[in-house]
Amino acid sequence: MNLAKRRFEIDSSGIRKVFDLAAKLKNPCNLSIGLPDYDVPDPVKEAAIEAIRAGQNRYTLTAGVPRLRETVTARYRERGHDVEDAIVVAGTSGGLFLCFLALLNPGDGLMFTDPYFVMYKHLCKFIGAVPAYIDTYPDFRLRREALERAWTPNCKAIVINSPNNPTGIVYSDDELKMAAEFAEEKGLVVITDEIYEDFVFDGPFRSPADFTDPARTVIISGLSKNAAMTGWRIGWVAGPKVLVQALSDIQQYSFVCAPSFAQAASFSALEFDMADIRERFTKRRDFVHAGLVDAGYSVEKPGGAFYVLPAAPGGNGDEFVRRAIEKNLLVVPGSVFSERATHFRISFAAGMEQLERGVGILRELNAGGG
């Protein structure tokens, strides 16, 4: 079969390859997948069951249940964001896909940090746009000079992901203000990916939208991480009405609508108190970071999400992950998330027993101190 050329602009996710490998290993220590280790809260489950039994199983309006859209819009207005409208989408991944399709023409540049969430690069290339990588090494911070080096006249938008996947870095107010000023100067649309907004460990969550022009700002978030609804596919995009209408038109001929029962249960999920989970994940972050430092790894302390991206001993992340897998430890090569292959990603969305086991294996792997 003669497949379209765009199919070869994407590769099977390196994370999924590790996930598939986990199914073949006997009792692996799996610190690879960004999947919360807790289940969907019971009140959310009950709300979904009630909706199913009440017959809320058909198509909803393409843009989502009106009350849910209004709730999302009000959520951002209460935070001081001048959001005009919102659309409910099939997870934040669906939101990113729709946004890229609506905003980027073939040949347009899309700026995002390196390291990056895998979807940014592959979706960008899939639709014919051009990735413009913002180098954040060695400490994964935003710098004006790196933005300048990445920018080209064809760049149309910039994605800011804070807390960040895969680094766990939370950008400071100064970094966000600087990026907002840069975007304003260059006329860029700011796409802020806020799926980890409830996983900020050392202070309140700050959105790039706190500093950007609302007319050129797109906020993407959802319920996959905080309410553990990864399989329910509920996300949203909030921003200018003209963009939301475009996304709705595209969704009509692609995803059609987000799952109806999951939309009905979203009201309960939006009320879910994350305080206890956030405290639990903060302790995990502290344990993993301290263990890595004690074992001689070079590593930046994550301020959010549930990832850490240490430098691989010897400088080759792919080779290091191969050695880790031989020890029955599953982590992800940094090359999955970067144009460099020098690091590896750990997810600490796992129980303490698994984390203790994983840190022990990592200590063995760096017994010589790197």
Residue 229, pLDDT score: 95
Alpha-carbon dihedral of residues 299, 300, 302, 303, nearest 10 degrees?
A: 160
Instruction: Enter the DSSP assignment of 29.
Output: E
The radius of gyration of the chain's CA atoms, rounded to the nearest angstrom, is 20
Q: Mean pLDDT, 10 residues at a time, over the chain (370 residues)?
A: 85 62 79 93 98 97 98 97 97 97 98 97 96 98 98 98 98 98 98 98 97 98 96 97 98 97 98 96 98 98 98 96 94 96 98 97 84
What domains are defined for the chain?
5-40+274-365 (3.90.1150.10), 58-270 (3.40.640.10)
- pLDDT (0 to 100) of residue 336: 95
Distance, CA of 35 to chain centre: 11
Predicted local confidence at residue 367, as pLDDT: 85
- Find out whether 266 and 72 touch, Cβ atoms under 8 Å: no
Closest CA relative to residue 339, chosen from 76, 86, 73, 134: 134
Burial class of residue 285 in the structure, from the number of CB atoms within 10 Å of its CB (0-12 exposed, 13-18 middle, 19+ buried): buried
Q: pTM of the entire structure?
A: 0.95
Other CB atoms within 10 Å distance of the CB of residue 168: 29
The predicted structure's pLDDT at residue 26:
82
What residues are paired with 85 via a beta bridge?
239
Q: Which of 96, 130, 18, 277 is nearest to 269 (CA)?
A: 277
Cβ contacts of 260 within 8 Å, gap of 6 or more: 51, 56, 57, 58, 59, 60, 65
Residue 29's Cβ-side half-sphere holds a number of Cα atoms within 13 Å equal to 22
User: What b/e string do you get for 19-33 counting C-beta neighbours within 10 Å, with b at 16 or more?
Assistant: beeeeeeeebbbbbb
Strands 155-161 and 109-114: parallel
